[in-house]
Amino acid sequence: MNKTPEKSQIKNLPIGIFDSGVGGLTVYRALHNRLPNEHFIYLGDTARVPYGTKSLATVERYAIENSQFLASHGIKMLVVACNTASALALPKIREKIGLDVVGVIGPGARKAVAVTSPNSKIAVIATEATVQSDAYRVSIKEASETAEVIQTACPLFVSLAEENWAKEPETFSIAKKYLDKIIEFQPEALVLGCTHYPILREVIQQTVGARVKLIDSGEACAEEVAQLLDWKELANPHKVAGERRLCDDLDHFYVTDAAERFARVAERFLGAKPAKLEAVELDELKKD
């Protein structure tokens, strides 16, 4: 009979993170920077990306499989870095794995409300699937009934981020076209509702103007994870010796396909390739 781990043992366990692909690396970066004593296991479901074109049932199934894979590796908490899975699958994930689960949509919405004035105007940019889910609008309204919300899909931003076209003239032109309605709306805050978008932060900020507060949902998520760890008394008490680096050998990365491409994009996003990167078949979990 397996014994329930002592809290002192649980504190030493890693935090699990999953995304449909590489975008969640910006959430990993935010968590890593905010919580340098923690270790992380990251799963990028690169074989089945994108999730945004899939049905609710399919997204739920993928999200549960990802979550169970990470849970099988012994984690103390799960971060759903995928906006689509955060919008559609959090209740099912919580039901299946019995761990604390933090998504990116709720924290991003709450942060936007927290840094703006009452009756504020808040804009959200995201993928088409996330905009259609209306999850950000609902979460913002839960935090502030008086907030006025506008949402715009910016699908090309994903490819531009992965190609590292952060300073190309074409990227500024595309941003201007996507963000025209938001500029006209004159929001107080703009939520970056896709994990790829922080890579284009400078372009977006210059396009909408310096007075608009940009909300990185990954950073907001990291804040809430830190608060939850403190509240549950699950923070790792052991300080990592020396300087903690992104993608070091304390963190383990898994992908379901295209490991070499993942490593290249990770280097563009984070400035380093994962020291531990492994391709896995999630079907293996079902055979256990």
What's the whole-model pTM score?
0.91
Same-fold call for 7-103+220-287 versus 105-217: yes
> 284 pLDDT band (50/70/90 cuts)?
low
> 3 pLDDT band (50/70/90 cuts)?
low
Q: What is the pLDDT of residues 17-53, one digit of tens each?
A: 999 999 999 999 999 999 999 999 999 999 998 888 8
Q: Give the contacts of 238 (CB within 8 A, at least 6 positions apart).
A: 12, 37
> 242 pLDDT band (50/70/90 cuts)?
confident
Q: What is the pLDDT of residues 45-88, one digit of tens each?
A: 999 988 888 888 999 999 999 999 999 999 999 999 999 999 98
Q: Which of 154, 194, 221, 247 is catalytic?
A: 194
Position with higher pLDDT, 152 vs 52? 152
> 216 pLDDT band (50/70/90 cuts)?
very high
The length of the chain in residues reads 288
pLDDT at 12: 93
Answer CATH for 105-217 from 3.40.50.720, 3.40.50.1860, 3.40.228.10, 3.10.129.10? 3.40.50.1860
Active site residue 154: no
Q: Give the contacts of 43 (CB within 8 A, at least 6 positions apart).
A: 16, 17, 18, 19, 66, 69, 70, 253, 254, 255, 256, 280
Active site residue 194: yes
Average pLDDT, the chain: 92
Q: Which of 82, 154, 221, 247 is catalytic?
A: 82
Residue 276 CA to its chain's centroid (Å): 20
pLDDT reading at 200 higher than 60 = yes
Per-domain boundaries in the chain = 7-103+220-287, 105-217
pLDDT at 153: 94
Q: Write down the CATH number for the domain with range 7-103+220-287.
A: 3.40.50.1860
pLDDT reading at 285 higher than 60 = no
Q: 252, 70 in Cβ contact below 8 A?
A: no
pLDDT at 1: 44
Q: What is the pLDDT of residues 102-138, one digit of tens each?
A: 999 999 999 999 999 988 999 999 988 889 899 999 9
